[in-house]
Amino acid sequence: MTLNTMNIENIKTLGELKKSGYQSKSIKNELRDNLREKISSNKETFTGIHGYENTVIPELERAILSRHNINLLGLRGQAKTRLARQMINLLDEWIPYVSGSEINDDPFCPISRYAQNLIQEKGDETPISWLHRSERFAEKLATPDVTVADIIGDVDPIKAANLKLSYADDRVIHFGMIPRANRSIFVINELPDLQARIQVSLFNILQEGDIQIRGFKLRLPLDIQFVFTANPEDYTNRGSIVTPLKDRIGSQILTHYPESIEIAKTITSQEARLDDRQSDTVIVPEIAKDLLEQISFEARDSEFIDHKSGVSARMSITAYENLLSTAEYRALKSGDTKTTVRLSDFVGVIPAITGKVELVYEGEQEGAASVAMSLISNAVKTLFESYFPKIEKLEKSDYESPYQGVIDWFFDENGFELLDEATDEEYKKQLDAVKPLDKLIKKYQPELGETEIYFVKEFVLWGLVEYKKLSKHRLSEGFHFNDLYGSYIKGL
């Protein structure tokens, strides 16, 4: 039975709790019952987590229905901790506990000496307090310096002195994080980083419910829902999960990265922290959002990046924030009140990329900035065929390429530059000068709006560079585009 706020205001003692008809249950049964109710009424269980609807979330729900302790196994940036934190929404809103108890003793099933003595002394007059579900979540990042005292407990000499007790009395024990999280969800992040001897101390808590502190063996059947998170690379790198502990974890659930650009865009849009003025100033074409997400997909396949380390979804989020800031900065410098993201603005996302990827040896030789620039280029090349006809390496003699007009324009001209800090008017004027681009875009992308057309014009130029039809050079103030061989031929 669950009680609302109005009911609990009238329940202050154990006797009043008995009269209310309240029935206590273990946290695992509590989670299970509330999940059953949500599934039956077709309510969403985990909100704001995209791409897991048919994979991770059903597995997690089945683990909760099975009353299992859970290990979420996956690379960084795969919403493991967020899933664990959202489990508190499956808890009852309020639960009663014996007032003053350090370990949230259930009034109907006390496990600490303090609560047992208090109930024996006061009976139905035992004071009762209420714990909200938001306070029933504890989290610990596993680091090599974590001790048994931190998570299980230790003898407290100050308590012994104040209470005038000997060290042989179990009342001198100071409980650690896990006992204090009794009747709560307890999350240990990066479990393999926990030293093996600390992992061993969890064995009995998970299975038998007793703990040992400095020779004290306490029978404390703690009521805890454990959720662990781990990176599979940690099994071979910094540490491993010891086998008997893995054996005691009921369900291991594999997480994954977004499987499509659309899902990735939804996550980035939801998580990016933008200033309202930034959103009002900068227009982002849909193709620019696609390109940004494609960079992460390219990074996960790149030979220069350590695949075992993974490429976090945070890379796309911070890159999106950087992209808008780059366009905003340019608009402020040029005096434009409104601007649209340009492809050349993607140079501004390089710091977000270099800080989020782990390079292999070959990548270190190339240099982080160079690898980041190549990821942007590869993303352009991958997406190009989604918008325009495929460019063949070898073309038949009678085949007229749809891009020939653009290529000829660069052959006849001396090339041109797109400066980073050009005003919108100057930028558009430069791209409008390449007349064949208008014909190409009108034929293959006739539905483009005015806010997208100039980004796509620049996108065509970058695409032709990636397919070796034009050349591009980075200058200190922008990009210079030219034909591939024309300048050499004209020199001859």
pLDDT tens for each residue of 300-344: 999 999 888 889 899 999 999 999 999 999 999 988 889 999 999
Distance (Å, rounded) from C-alpha 474 to C-alpha 342? 15
63 pLDDT higher than 50: yes
Mean pLDDT of all residues in 363-384: 93
- Exposed / middle / buried, residue 395 (Cβ in 10 Å: 0-12, 13-18, 19+): exposed
If one counts every other C-beta atom within 10 angstroms of the C-beta of residue 240, the result is 16
Q: What 3 state SS string does 234-293 have?
A: HHCCCCCCCHHHHHHCCEEEECCCCCCHHHHHHHHHHHCCCCHHHHHHEECCHHHHHHHH
What percentage of the chain reaches a pLDDT higher than 70?
A: 89
Tokens representing 181? 């999280």
* Stretch among 30-34, 46-50, 203-207 having the lowest mean pLDDT: 203-207
Per the CB < 8 A criterion, the answer to whether 42 and 243 are in contact is: no
How far is the first Cα of the chain from the last one, in angstroms, to the nearest whole number? 90
Q: For residue 35, what pLDDT band results from cuts at 50, 70 and 90?
A: very high
pLDDT interval class at 437 (50, 70, 90): very high
Residue 286 has pLDDT above 90, yes or no: yes
Counting Cβ atoms within 10 Å, is residue 99 exposed (0-12), middle (13-18) or buried (19+)?
Answer: middle
Of 147, 156, 103, 105, the residue nearest 127 (C-alpha): 105
Query: What is the pLDDT, as a whole number, of residue 26?
Result: 93
List 426's β-bridge partners, or say none. Answer: none
pLDDT of residue 1: 57
- Which pLDDT score, from 0 to 100, does residue 340 have? 94
Range 242-262 average pLDDT: 91
Mean pLDDT of 80-98: 94
Task: Cite the residue boundaries of each domain of the chain with CATH code 3.40.50.300.
Answer: 5-254
**CA 101 to CA 107: how far, in whole Å?**
10
**Tokens encoding 221:** 């059947």
Residue 233: the pLDDT is 67
Provide the pLDDT confidence category of residue 492 given band limits of 50, 70 and 90.
very low
Print the SS3 string covering the chain. CCCCHHHHCCCCEHHHHHHHCCCCCCHHHHHHHHHHHHHHCCCCCCCCCCCCCCCHHHHHHHHHHCCCCEEEECCCCCCHHHHHHHHHHHCCCEEEEECCCCCCCECCECCCHHHHHHHHHHHHHCEEEEEEHHHCEEEEECCCCCCHHHHCEEECHHHHHHHCCCCCCHHHEEECHHHHCCCCEEEEECHHHCCHHHHHCCHHHHHCCEEEECCEEEECCCCCEEEEEECHHHHCCCCCCCHHHHHHCCEEEECCCCCCHHHHHHHHHHHCCCCHHHHHHEECCHHHHHHHHHHHHHHHHCCCECCCCCCCHHHHHHHHHHHHHHHHHHHHHHCCCCEECCHHHHHHHHHHHHCCCCECHHHHHHCHHHHHHHHHHHHHHHHHHHHCCCCCCCCCCCCCCCCHHHHHHHHHCCCEEEECCCCHHHHHHHHHCCHHHHHHHHHHCCCCCHHHHHHHHHHHHHHHHHCCCEEEEECCCEEEEEECCHHHHHHC
- Residue 356's nearest CA partner among 299, 297, 294, 272 is 299
Mean pLDDT value across residues 278-297: 93
Backbone angles phi, psi at 423, to 5 degrees: -65, 165
What value does the mean pLDDT of the chain take? 87
> Which tokens sit at 24?
């206590």
pLDDT at residue 230 is higher than 70: yes
pLDDT at 474: 87
> Residue 184, Cβ neighbours under 10 Å: how many?
24
Of 260 and 1, the structure prediction assigns the larger pLDDT to 260
CB atoms within 10 A of CB 372: 26
pLDDT at 59: 97
- pTM, two decimal places: 0.86
> What pLDDT is stored for residue 6 in this prediction?
54
Mean pLDDT computed over 62-72: 96
Q: What is the pLDDT of residue 455?
A: 95
The CATH architecture to which 5-254 belongs is 3-Layer(aba) Sandwich (3.40)
Q: Which positions ≥6 away from 490 have C-beta within 8 Å? A: none
Asked if 440 and 456 count as a contact pair (C-beta separation under 8 A), the reply is: no
Q: d(Cα 108, Cα 91) in Å, to the nearest integer?
A: 19
Q: At what angle do helices 450-466 and 435-444 cross, to 10 degrees?
A: 100
Cβ pair 67, 101 in contact under 8 A: no
Among 44-58, 212-226, 431-445, where is mean pLDDT lowest? 212-226
Mean pLDDT, residues 20-24: 88
Alpha-carbon distance of 57 to 249, in angstroms, equals 18
* pLDDT, position 236: 45
* Distance from C-alpha of 213 to C-alpha of 220, rounded to nearest angstrom: 12
* pLDDT for residue 275 is more than 90: no
